[in-house]
Structure formats: structure tokens, C-alpha cells
Chains A and B, each alone.
Chain A
Amino acid sequence: MTDLLQVKNIRKTFPGVVALDDISLSIAPGEIHTLLGENGAGKSTLMNVLTGLYRPDCGEICFDGEPVSFGSPRDSLAMGIGMVHQHFMLVPAHSVFENILLALDKIPNFYSRKQYQQKIQQVLDDFELDLDLDAPVWSLSIGAQQWIELIKLLIRDCRLLILDEPTAVLTPQESARLFRVLTRLRDQGKSILFISHKMREVMEISDRVTVLKKGRSLTTLARGSYDQGRLASLMIGEDQVPEWEKAPCQDERLALEIRNLSVRNDRGLSDLDNFTMKLQRGQVLGVAGIAGNGQKALAEVLTGLADASSGKILADDGQDITNSTARSSYIAGIAHIPEDRKSIGIAPDMTVDDNLIMKSFTSPAFRRGIFQDRAAIRNNAAEKIEQFAIKAGPTGNPVRYLSGGNIQKVIIARELSEQPSVLVALYPTRGLDIGSAEYVHKVIVDGAKQGMSTILISEDLDELLKLSDQIVVMFRGRLAGCVDPRSTTREEIGLLMSGEVQT
């Protein structure tokens, strides 16, 4: 039997970044094929190539044995390749029926509502789904909205369904139901390309798994020839553990303690679940975990952007700061390197000078009464630009004209300017070139020497092993384990990340 889709040696670059280096992949009819890889491994780019959003620089895509080239998502949809995106493409104010109708081509100007409703209902019945076609989409749960996306593809008779982390927004029950439907679809001969981070689901549902790493397809394994540990270590890589760079932390005094902390998200699910950890003064605490396992909630609760639903955060003097008014002032002393630099780290239209004082603009150093002290602000900027080697361009340049690495330096310079006792860094080197990444590492190590404690949340195991005094591993918002970087192995961390074992 010929493969439904064949991807051969695809390469895609963006200015300054190789997103896909060399990807090959084939999907058979009636197969659930899983793509596994860390963030930044190239999964999303590959999806966008397959759905016609990007054109590859070189390489070949064959569908049904014929070489194809997609100019736009419309082309790939016409071929029968459909995708359920992580962010749904629905019109919230319109009814379920109208949204599904949008997916169809060639609807006559005067269409028979009844006829189409019957057609849709048939698909629903087929999969034992219960959806009110007249309900407006905004009134439905996230899970139900995802069903609509899926039905949109089924009613078009798509032959290849691409699902981008569909279970990220689902409860376990909803996921189980989705899997039943996917399995049935496969048995009917549809091909499914499934993207997930969650190791257990991958084990449960895949016929074959392709592991991506740094823009390359490492290997494709058929069911039975892999287990969770194997996949985890493939995903993370098996290179040598890098030299541990930092002097060990000697100070026994606590900088921060978290006891049994839980954080619930908008949907009432626990992002952080009974999480406990201690941070010593001058310690670099690495936090490992596959994306979406509670790292973001941890950072948010520590920096005051999210509220704890239960548990305690204790300050260095043992004071409970979880929900007290002292929290805001203590949190003000916690430096934060946010995950999404451009969306919350900077005010893009303002100058580098202005961005550097964003957290301390009310400080007497930068004001005289109600007026800003422009000279002091300029001097501060000049000093920081030199100290952190920021390529800031001409004075008065809006910060959005800077490169990603330099924007990150602006944020770091600002966050560290007030001698914080604790730094929470989320993926601080993601997307940076090697030089800038090295610089960020140096800042963290130097800070530790002066007694600053760092919570380093990262997906880059090399980085964690190189810098941390201790590594905690998170899985589903819980503490999966705690390891010593000097004696651990990648495999041990990988197993902890996959939730396979707990220490």
C-alpha cells in the first residue's frame, strides 16, 4: 500500500533561524502517526508547511503518490488535508450549524437548511456526539468547540487530519472520548497526524511515532518498538552531560519556600497541584518538565500574576506571603524574566531608556517630584547598555527595533537593576543565539555568587544541568522528582518528565 503522505527532506528557514533542517516522514492510510518533540523542535513549522501556510525552501511533499505544492491553506484543504488548530478558528457569535457550514465549499445561494442539517446530524450520530446545532459557539465548552473543528473536517471528507495538541485543553474524560473517535476514524481508513507532549497519550494511541529534534526528524518507531523512557531520551537527546559550571551553593538560609501550593486555571483545572519546594540563598534551582506541566503557573504565582487557590508561599524570614498584603511588596522584589518577551516584557513603541525603568519609574532616582528626571533616566540607560552589552541602536530608538537577544538583555538589565533576592527566569535563552545565551548564563551564575537565588525554568536540559544546584522535575503540576545535576542522568530526568516514575 502506498503512503498517503510523504514528506522528503523538507527544509525551511526564516531570517536568522533554521526552523526545519531536514524532515522526512510518511503517513500511511488508516494510521495514527504521532509527532513528538520539545518546543522549538519544529512541529508547528512542519504543520504549517503541510497545511500550506508556509512553503518549504526545498524538499518534496507527495500526497497520494503525486508531488504537490500548496500555495495556501485552501490548496491543502482541497487535497483533503485538514487541521484542528490549537487556537480554534470559529466564529463565537455564530451557531454551531453556521460554523460548520463555513467549512463547506460550493454552497448554493439558496441552500436547503434542512438538507445540510441532516448531513451534519448524520456525522454527529455516526460518532455518537451530542451537539446542539443552533447553540451559539461562545456558549459551548472548549471541548465541544473542539468537536466542531473536527466535524468541520469530517464533513469535508478530509483524508488526513492534523491535530495540534488537541488534548491540551481537554479534561481526561474528554480526551478519552476523543481517542475513541480517533481510533474509529483510523479504522475507517483516515490518517491522523497527532501532535502531543503527553507521553502517556502517545503510548496509548499511536501506531507510529516520529521524534523531532532541532528541526530534524530523528527516527520513526512503530508501536511495540518503543517505551516511554526510550521516547523521552530520544526527545531530549543523549549527548554528553555538559560540564557543571557553578560553584556549589553553600548558604543554608532559605530565600523562599513553597508549601503544598495549588493554582487553578480559568477552567477549574489545576495548573499547579500540591507543589512543594525550597529555595536556598544563592541557589540556582532548575525546573525541568515538558511544556505545559505547570511551570508557567509556578512563575505566575511567584510574580503576582496568578493567585494561589491553596497552599503557602513563605518569605525568607518565614513570613506567610501567599495572600497577605505584604505579598505585593515582596513580589516587587522578585525579578522576573517572562516567557513571552514581546507580549509582556516590553512596551514596544517606547525607547530603550523608557523600557529600562519600567519597574522603577516611581523610584526617587528617576524623578523630581512629579517630573521625570530625563537626565538620570538617560544615564541609567547608558550605564545598562554598556554593562549588559546591549546593541540598542541610536538613542531614542523604540525597543521593538532591537533583535530578540537584545530585547532579552533589556529585560534582564531592568529586572536585575534593583538587586533582587530572587529571580524567576522562564525559558530565558529560548530563541537566543549562542553568544546571548552564554551571557544570560553568566548573569545567573554571577548573581548566585552575590546571593541571588534563581528559579530557572527551562526546557533545555543542557542549560539546567550546567547551571543548577538542584533540579526539580514537574509533571502535571506536581513535583515528579528532585535530582542532583552532578549525579543524575538524562534518562532519569526524561523518565521523571514523562511521569513514568516518581522519586
Chain B
Amino acid sequence: MKLVAEKRQTSSKLFRFSAPLISILVALFVAGFLLLAAGVSPLQAYLEIIKEALGSTYGLSETLVKTTPLIFASLGVSLAFRMQIWNIGAEGQIYMGACGATAVALFSGLENHVMMITAMFLAAFLCGGAWAGVAGILRARWRVNEVIVTLLMNYIAILAVDYLIYGPWKDPKGFNFPLTAQFSDAARLTEYFNTRLHSGFFLALVCALVLYLFMERTVWGYEIKVIGSNPKAAQYAGMRTGLAIFAVLFLSGAIAGIAGFSEVAGLQHRLQHGISPGYGYTAIIIAWLAKRSALGVVIVSFLMGVLLVGGDSLQLSWQLPVAFVYAFQGLILFFLLASEFFIQNRVRLVRGTSHD
């Protein structure tokens, strides 16, 4: 008796759409054992997550605050995924975006709020884009694998930011802490409801809508989809695939860079160490879970936001390490990849040793 996997001719639509949900449920189940091992009741912990993240104005606003950078970064990553380009470097692009926005905030001397914010936004957009654009040029010109380049450039970006805040950009009045000076009021996004929720969140929603329209309605989106589906056919139809690869990676990085802008202008009001606790990596999971849709990115980012905020409260109430949240994210991705296999293949138990 043995297990045999065979390719499915067609995959069920229902299964395809429910697979991410099932993956999350299975991940919840398995993570339950981790909680048990830590001496925590899984059910209580999950209830606590939901209560903390959604049960109060404060909790909800915090969840949206965490959701914001996730949406930007995941939109960037998913855009590249559409063309079968794997941008693993959203983390570094967030740092570079934050860096660009900070440079404008600290040194441009602009006093008008709108002009300042616009300039910061553009700086973040260009810095994030340029950072990913390096991988784009290497890939388009010399077929250098973009996974390696984008991944390794994360470390460069994070260390470059560290250099700036420990060195030239350090706040002279900051008691030698590795921080830049606080931004002027002109360089801060509006906050709402007396919480930390800032206009970056709404910008993220607009960005998702724009990206949706870009992919589904424009000529360029069409081109990206054709190249993603079959690069050879695209070339044969006269599309310039090299240029498209660069453009998409640039745009992907630029959108991730906006997350950096929104973090420094909306939340932290200065550049400091660890401005992103791995949003760029979580974005990869989100982009996978959301498949191809911008709306999916928004929803999944929100779920991840819930998990992050709820996970924080687990740390407080049960002294669970933050590693639990990352382990949970890892489990989701793991089961999601596994579900991909079951969508593509039918698995049967076969009796005897026949080879048919």
C-alpha cells in the first residue's frame, strides 16, 4: 500500500479560494500545541488575541497602525509576484524609503505641510524604487537572480540606516541615543480619534485601489500579466521583457518604500533603529496568502495586524516570547505552500505494489 500523487486536470475553484483559510485554521491548530507546551490554553490565548486586537478603540486603532506598513509592503511584493519576480527585499526597501523621507524631513527646510509631506513621499518612493531597481537592472541585463540580490540588499539597507543614526544623523540633543532629531510638525501625518492611527492607513487603502486598477484595467497591467504567465510568448508578441522587469521591480520597491515614509512620518516621527520589525518579510507571506488580488492584500494584512497586536498582549499577559507570533506566521506559510500541492495534485491511497 502506498500514497500516490497525480496531477489534477482541473482544480476546484472552491478549494482554491478556501485553501488559505484552511491553511490558517490548520496553523492555528498546530500552534495550539506550542501554546500548550508553554502552559497556556490555546483557546484562551486566541480569544485574548481577538479581544485585544479588536475589542476596543485602542486595540483596533493599534491593529490598523500595524496593518498600514504591511499593506504597502505586501502590495509591492505582490506586484512583482504577478510577473513571477520574487522581491524578497521589501524590508530593505522600507528602510531606504524611511531613510529618504527622513532626509527630506530633516534637511529640506520646507515649512508648508503639504509640500513637505509630498516631498517626503516622493523621496521614499524613489529611494525604495532605486533600491529594488538595482536588482531589476541586474536581472534584466545579466539574469542575476533577484531573490539573492533583493535579500542581501536588506542587510545593507538596515546597516546603512544604523550608520546614519549612530553617526551623521544622530540627534545632538538625544543623549547619545541612536535616533535622529524629531520631525517638525510639517513633516508629520495627521492623527485621528486621539489614537496613533494616522492618514498613512488611508493612503494605503488608496494605494491598494490604484494598484488594483493598474493591474486589472491598464495596458501596462496587461503586459505584466502576459509576461508573468509566459515570458516567451510575451517576447514573441513584441513586448520588451527586460524593460518590464526593471520597471516592475522599481515600482515594487517604490511601493514598499512608501511603508517607510508612512512609518516615520505617521508614527515614529524620527528615524531610529529597527523601524520595521520584519514587516518586509511578513509581506512575503501576505502576498502569498492574498494570491493575486490587491483586496486580498488589504484583508490579509489586517489579519496579520490582528496577530501582531494580539501577540503583543500575549507577551504581556502570559510572558510568551514574540517568537511565538513569528512561529505562527511561519506555520501559516508552511501550510499554505503545502495546500498549493494539494490544489495541483490529487492524492490517493493505492493498494498493492502496482505501478498504475
Taking Cβ atoms with an 8 Å cutoff, the residues of A that contact B are 55, 71-72, 303, 305, 328, 332, 336, 338, 343-350, 354, 358-359, 361-362, 367, 370-372, 374, 401
In Å, the complex CA distance between A305 and B229 comes to 19
Contact A348-B355, Cβ < 8 Å, known A338-B236, A361-B222, A362-B219 = no
- Decide if B223 is an interface residue (CB 8 Å cutoff): yes
- Decide if B237 is an interface residue (CB 8 Å cutoff): yes
In Å, the complex CA distance between A105 and B222 comes to 51
The answer to whether A346 touches B233 (Cβ under 8 A) is yes
Among A332, A359, A361, which residue has the most Cβ atoms of chain B within 10 A? A361
The answer to whether A370 touches B218 (Cβ under 8 A) is yes
Which one, A344, A345, A354, A362, contacts B225 given CB within 8 A? A354
In Å, the complex CA distance between A257 and B229 comes to 35
The answer to whether B355 touches A72 (Cβ under 8 A) is yes
Across the interface, which residues of B come within 8 angstroms of A344, CB to CB? 230, 232-233, 235-236
The answer to whether B355 touches A347 (Cβ under 8 A) is no
Contact A343-B238, Cβ < 8 Å, known A55-B355, A350-B226 = no
Q: Which residue of B lies closest to A75 (CB)?
A: B355
The secondary structure that dominates the A interface is loop
The answer to whether B230 touches A348 (Cβ under 8 A) is yes
The secondary structure that dominates the B interface is helix
The answer to whether B230 touches A361 (Cβ under 8 A) is no
Contact A347-B218, Cβ < 8 Å, known A55-B356, A401-B10 = no
Q: Which residue of A lies closest to B353 (CB)?
A: A71
Taking Cβ atoms with an 8 Å cutoff, the residues of B that contact A are 10, 217-223, 225-226, 228-230, 232-238, 355-356
Q: How far is the CB of B36 from chain A (nearest CB, A)?
A: 41
Besides A344-B233, A371-B218, 20 other A-B contacts (C-beta < 8 A): A71-B355, A303-B236, A305-B236, A343-B230, A344-B236, A345-B236, A346-B233, A347-B229, A348-B229, A349-B229, A350-B226, A354-B222, A354-B225, A354-B226, A358-B226, A359-B237, A361-B219, A361-B226, A367-B219, A370-B219
Across the interface, which residues of B come within 8 angstroms of A347, CB to CB? 225-226, 229-230, 233-234
In Å, the complex CA distance between A336 and B232 comes to 14
Q: Which residue of A lies closest to B236 (CB)?
A: A344
In Å, the complex CA distance between A303 and B218 comes to 27
Instruction: For the complex of A and B, list the 8 residue pairs with the smallest distance between their C-beta atoms, beginning with the closest.
Output: A347-B229, A71-B355, A349-B229, A358-B237, A344-B232, A347-B230, A347-B226, A344-B236
Q: How far is the CB of A317 from chain B (nearest CB, A)?
A: 22
The answer to whether B236 touches A372 (Cβ under 8 A) is no
A-B contact pairs, 6 of them (CB 8 A): A347-B225, A358-B233, A361-B222, A362-B219, A367-B219, A374-B217
Q: How far is the CB of B13 from chain A (nearest CB, A)?
A: 11
In Å, the complex CA distance between A346 and B231 comes to 10
Across the interface, which residues of A come within 8 angstroms of B217, CB to CB? 371-372, 374
Across the interface, which residues of A come within 8 angstroms of B234, CB to CB? 347, 358
Which one, B220, B236, B356, contacts A336 given CB within 8 A? B236
Across the interface, which residues of B come within 8 angstroms of A361, CB to CB? 219, 222-223, 226
Q: Which residue of A lies closest to B355 (CB)?
A: A71
Across the interface, which residues of B come within 8 angstroms of A350, CB to CB? 225-226, 229
Q: Which residue of A lies closest to B226 (CB)?
A: A347
Across the interface, which residues of B come within 8 angstroms of A372, CB to CB? 217-219, 221-222
Across the interface, which residues of A come within 8 angstroms of B218, CB to CB? 370-372
The answer to whether A346 touches B230 (Cβ under 8 A) is yes
Q: Which residue of B lies closest to A349 (CB)?
A: B229
Q: Which residue of B lies closest to A15 (CB)?
A: B9
In Å, the complex CA distance between A372 and B225 comes to 13
In Å, the complex CA distance between A142 and B15 comes to 45
In Å, the complex CA distance between A358 and B222 comes to 9
Q: Which residue of B lies closest to A370 (CB)?
A: B218
Among A72, A328, A347, A349, which residue has the most Cβ atoms of chain B within 10 A? A347
In Å, the complex CA distance between A343 and B229 comes to 11
Across the interface, which residues of A come within 8 angstroms of B233, CB to CB? 343-347, 358
Q: Which residue of A lies closest to B225 (CB)?
A: A350
In Å, the complex CA distance between A372 and B226 comes to 14
Across the interface, which residues of B come within 8 angstroms of A349, CB to CB? 228-229
In Å, the complex CA distance between A400 and B207 comes to 32
Q: Which residue of A lies closest to B238 (CB)?
A: A332
In Å, the complex CA distance between A350 and B82 comes to 12
Q: How far is the CB of A495 from chain B (nearest CB, A)?
A: 35
Which one, A303, A343, A354, contacts B232 given CB within 8 A? A343
Q: Which residue of B lies closest to A332 (CB)?
A: B238
In Å, the complex CA distance between A336 and B220 comes to 24
Across the interface, which residues of A come within 8 angstroms of B225, CB to CB? 347, 350, 354
In Å, the complex CA distance between A376 and B235 comes to 24
In Å, the complex CA distance between A372 and B236 comes to 21
Q: Which residue of B lies closest to A338 (CB)?
A: B236
Q: Which residue of B lies closest to A398 (CB)?
A: B229
In Å, the complex CA distance between A379 and B237 comes to 21
The answer to whether B237 touches A371 (Cβ under 8 A) is no
Q: How far is the CB of A409 from chain B (nearest CB, A)?
A: 16
In Å, the complex CA distance between A303 and B229 comes to 21
Across the interface, which residues of A come within 8 angstroms of B222, CB to CB? 354, 361, 372
Q: Which residue of A lies closest to B234 (CB)?
A: A347
